[in-house]
């Protein structure tokens, strides 16, 4: 019984030690991974910075090293992103920001989709043809005239 207790106690201590060690060590790696996936490589390959597999890319390795140093030296992810935007321009951002004119890039796809859907619905509705008469059975006078003319011409 005592042996089981001490074995479990030792396993728990080891698990806690590794959890604390791994959590502390992966903080910078997690930030680099997050920030690296929010940036584009500026070599023209149009790939995410950490996924750039462009052979002989003159920028990706340099940018990855700068990112690692910036994460180690900076407390804020925003400060790192602003430094990269200052050095490489807004083309380094994988997605537009949520301020100023950049909001248009987020809003326009939804607005175009919604207006296109409404336009298609209106066109389909108009293609269906004339609507049937209402519940009272009344029709327009012009339609009645054509019906009478059709009956007269088709009588034997």
- If asked whether residues 90 and 108 sit together in one domain, one would say no
Residue 21 in this model has a pLDDT that exceeds 70: no
What is residue 134's predicted lDDT score, i.e. its pLDDT?
A: 53
- Res 29 pLDDT > 80: yes
- Is 127 buried (19+), middle (13-18) or exposed (0-12) by CB count in 10 A? exposed
Question: In whole angstroms, what separates CA 3 from the centre of its chain?
Answer: 54
Domain boundary among 95, 110, 137: 95
For the chain, what is the mean pLDDT? 81
Measured between alpha carbons, how far is 92 from 38 in angstroms, rounded to an integer? 9
Confidence of residue 135 (pLDDT cuts 50, 70, 90): very low
- What is the DSSP secondary structure assignment for residue 129, as one 8-state letter? -
Domains identified in the chain, total number:
2
Check: CB of residue 57 under 8 Å from CB of residue 3. Answer: no
What is the reported pLDDT for 46?
84
Residue 121 has what pLDDT? 93
Residues 3 and 50 in one domain: yes
Lowest mean pLDDT among 3-7, 67-71, 85-89: 3-7
Domain span at 89: 1-95
Among the candidates 52, 71, 95, a domain finishes at 95
Are 72 and 123 contained in the same domain? no
150 and 110 in a common domain? yes
pLDDT confidence tier of residue 131, bands split at 50, 70 and 90: low
Residue 67 DSSP one-character state:
H
Last residue of some domain: 45, 74, 95?
95
Residue 44, phi-psi category: left (phi > 0), alpha (psi -120 to 50), beta (remainder)? left
Cβ within 8 Å of residue 31, ≥6 positions away: 71, 77
Per residue in 48-86, pLDDT (tens digit) is 988 888 888 888 888 999 999 988 888 788 889 989 999
Are 107 and 88 members of one domain?
no
The percentage of residues in the chain with a pLDDT greater than 70, rounded to a whole number, is: 81
87 and 146 in a single domain? The answer is no
Helices and strands (H and E) in the chain: how many: 5, 0
Mean pLDDT of the region 79-99: 85
Identify each DSSP E strand in 1-156 by its residue range.
Answer: none
* CATH number of the domain that residue 43 is part of: 1.10.8
**Could you give the CA distance from residue 75 to residue 77 in angstroms, rounded to a whole number?**
7
Please determine, for residue 126, whether its predicted confidence score (pLDDT) is greater than 50. Answer: yes
pLDDT of residue 100: 77
């Amino acid at each position: 019984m005592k042996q089981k207790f001490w074995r479990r106690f030792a396993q728990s201590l080891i698990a806690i030690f590794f959890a604390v060690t791994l959590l502390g060590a992966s903080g910078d790696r997690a930030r680099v991974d997050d920030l690296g996936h929010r940036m584009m490589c500026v070599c023209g390959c149009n790939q995410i910075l950490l996924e750039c597999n462009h052979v002989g890319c003159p920028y990706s390795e340099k940018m990855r090293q700068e990112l690692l140093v910036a994460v180690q030296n900076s407390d804020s992810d925003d400060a790192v992103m602003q430094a990269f935007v200052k050095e490489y321009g807004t083309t380094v951002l994988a997605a537009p920001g949520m301020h100023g004119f950049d909001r248009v890039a987020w809003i326009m796809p939804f607005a175009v989709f919604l207006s296109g859907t409404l336009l298609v619905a209106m066109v389909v509705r108009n293609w269906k043809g004339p609507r049937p008469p209402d519940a009272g059975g009344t029709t327009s006078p012009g339609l009645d005239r054509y019906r009478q003319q059709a009956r007269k011409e088709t009588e034997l």
